[in-house]
Copies of this chain bind each other. A is one copy, B any other.
């Protein structure tokens, strides 16, 4: 039997850290012995546990300890991380793979926080600057020092808030199609108002269904009310919006339906018009584009991040068509975001979600329950999923924000 002693600290019971650790140990067929445990007696108190884990082989133990570290367990005897040299675009063998949790790496006896907190990365350490970066393959060059193994790594999972300040207090909340959503949306409006006051940054990740269902006008209201700082979308979202602005149709049912059903011609013509104008902003300046979401973004200086896919027609100018470049742009534009709304687009939602720090508050709205679940799975303590049509969601959210009047009053009403 091989064994190692691990330590857990924080709200390890109600944030499910200790249970997850024991679950992993049992699931891996290993054994544990709890050496010491102190449970915080009040809600705000921290807890502590020391656990001796044993497994039949040293490989199994190592594999297990790696996982337990990702849930926040620390190995009791502290040691420096091992480093090895990268090649250009290639990590050294056995490189440590990050989670999206806050992570520290121990070098020369001191811990350095890894920046940013991003999952599925390696950790490059600059000993001179005493800094550690989460890096993707394309970020490393020959000679960069990268953490290998998992010694010297400490992960600090997001822990459950001990105060009740917002709707993100629930664990793994998904509101199903047959559950009431009004109260959640109202609360979300308040959360966004608080974010506004606190100088938070709100990003919208937007799918074409927003335009197709006619929800665009509600998103425009949010933009006009200055509730959107960044807009992440694909080429087709922008084109749908432009198409609606240029050729669409408040003329009644038949036109609406015709719009929804076919009309590839207009889609193609919308692309052509933007290409001819030289891009979205140029089309706004030239008064070719005078309405819609893109127009509102340009007017209100919302950062637009458009990325390409193999399904794109066009694309229109401004879309990043190199997907590696696109990821770099997205990462940069997400760095200071505090709240993300993932709206009716599984591909973009998953791409964005994989780049978020675990503290970013995330709301996912989609009519497909499995899309919602996948989009929020990496933010279990900071996310809300709503299984619903995006149109009534955006309508109600924009109504709540527009109606609620001065923020202070809104908060007072609640008490």
Interface residues of A (CB under 8 A from B): 13-14, 16, 18-19, 22-23, 26-27, 29, 31-35, 37, 39-43, 49, 66-67, 87, 89-91, 93, 95, 97, 119-120, 122, 136-137, 160, 162, 164, 167, 169-171, 175-184, 186-187, 208-209, 212-214, 252-254, 256-257, 259-262, 264-265, 267-269, 271-272, 275-276, 307-315, 321-324, 326-327, 330, 344, 347-348, 350-351, 354, 367, 369-370, 387-389, 391-392, 395
Contact = CB atoms under 8 A, between A and B. Distances in A.
A310 B331 CA distance: 11
Contacts of A31: 42-43
B344 A323 contact: no
A169 B160 CA distance: 27
A28 to B, nearest CB: 8
Given A275-B137, A315-B324, A391 B26 contact: no
Given A181-B213, A214-B182, A276-B90, A19 B22 contact: no
Contact of A272 (B95, B178, B208, B330): B95
B208 A178 contact: yes
Contact of A367 (B40, B137, B321, B367): B367
A26 B169 contact: yes
27 contacts: A13-B18, A13-B22, A26-B169, A27-B169, A29-B254, A39-B49, A93-B272, A95-B269, A97-B265, A119-B264, A137-B275, A175-B260, A178-B208, A179-B213, A179-B260, A183-B253, A183-B257, A186-B253, A309-B310, A310-B347, A311-B351, A312-B323, A315-B324, A323-B323, A367-B388, A369-B369, A388-B389
A347 B347 contact: yes
A41 B14 CA distance: 20
Contacts of A209: 177-178
The 4 closest A-B pairs by CB, nearest first: A392-B392, A183-B253, A178-B209, A179-B260
Contacts of A276: 87, 90
A308 B324 contact: yes
A187 B160 CA distance: 37
A272 B87 CA distance: 10
Contacts of A49: 39
A344 B177 CA distance: 10
Contacts of A169: 26-27
A32 B22 contact: no
Most buried by B among A26, A90, A256, A330: A26
Given A13-B13, A213-B178, A43 B32 contact: yes
A212 B180 contact: yes
Given A95-B272, A177-B367, A322-B322, 10 more contacts: A37-B39, A39-B49, A137-B314, A176-B370, A183-B253, A307-B310, A309-B323, A310-B323, A311-B354, A392-B395
